[in-house]
Structure 1
Amino acid sequence: MFKNIVVGIDGSDSAEHALRVACDMAQKYDSKIHLIHSPQPKTVAFAMGAVPGYHAATTMPSPQEVEEAGNKILDSGRAVAKTCNIDITQAHLKNGDPADHITEYADTCGADLIVTGRRGLGNVGALLQGSTSQAVTHKAKCACLSVT
């Protein structure tokens, strides 16, 4: 039924739960799982602001810090999948709009399903503009599952 499942992750609890659901489906359908993460500088700045001595309000992270943070999120996703006895087929990191990157990658790899968390690390603007999961659902050419 589902040969290729793309999972968009952002480091949130909702994204981790979505990945666990995708892993469960992958076991049942013998699917391949592809992770994709599009790090957002403001989210990275917020996360780094939790570190003593880093002032997110005045300092945005460098491109290298954004990439390092993104790779940590992908590594975390791989670790979650391992606990579910699933090996990640591909993991991709790409800066920019998450919904665009998720749907473009899904087209490229021939995804049958895209799984995202319903509420990730987006900001208050997402309440007005719509969330990444909503945008993915509108743009995708395959089935989508938004996990709460």
Structure 2
Amino acid sequence: MELTLELAEKTLAAQPFSVLLGTRLIAFGAGGATLELDIRPDLQQQNGYLHGGVLGYAADNAITFAAGTALGPEVLTGGFTISYLRPAQGTVLRAAASVVHAGKRQATCTCELSTVDEDGATTLCAIAQGTVIALRR
């Protein structure tokens, strides 16, 4: 079964945590996926920066959606790493992931996490790499 944009949007809408955060799928297909969410005060840590856990969530989910373009809709994260480059500040978090390599049962993806400010300027704040595994039932 192929993972279409329509199915990907339904999958995102079926994730209660993604709904809680207000995550949007803004690009999908051809080995890539981009998610966005608004940066809100309740998602920040004590210094006013977006919490690292939110960045980790966004990387994990974007990587998994990107891998789904190569492996199909039934996938799970096998693992991922994230490097925080600078504090995340702005109005929107954007997680853009792409497939680097895909086999029959596993894909490796990278993800760039950037913030967008009020003027539309983007700032790279973290990078991630992950492995996604296809479920075969």
TM-score (norm 2): 0.31
Give the greater-gyration-radius structure (CA).
1
Structure having the larger proportion of residues in strand: 2
Larger RCO: Structure 1 or Structure 2 (Cα < 8 Å, ≥ 6 residues apart)? 1
Structure having the larger proportion of residues in helix: 1
TM-score (norm 1): 0.29
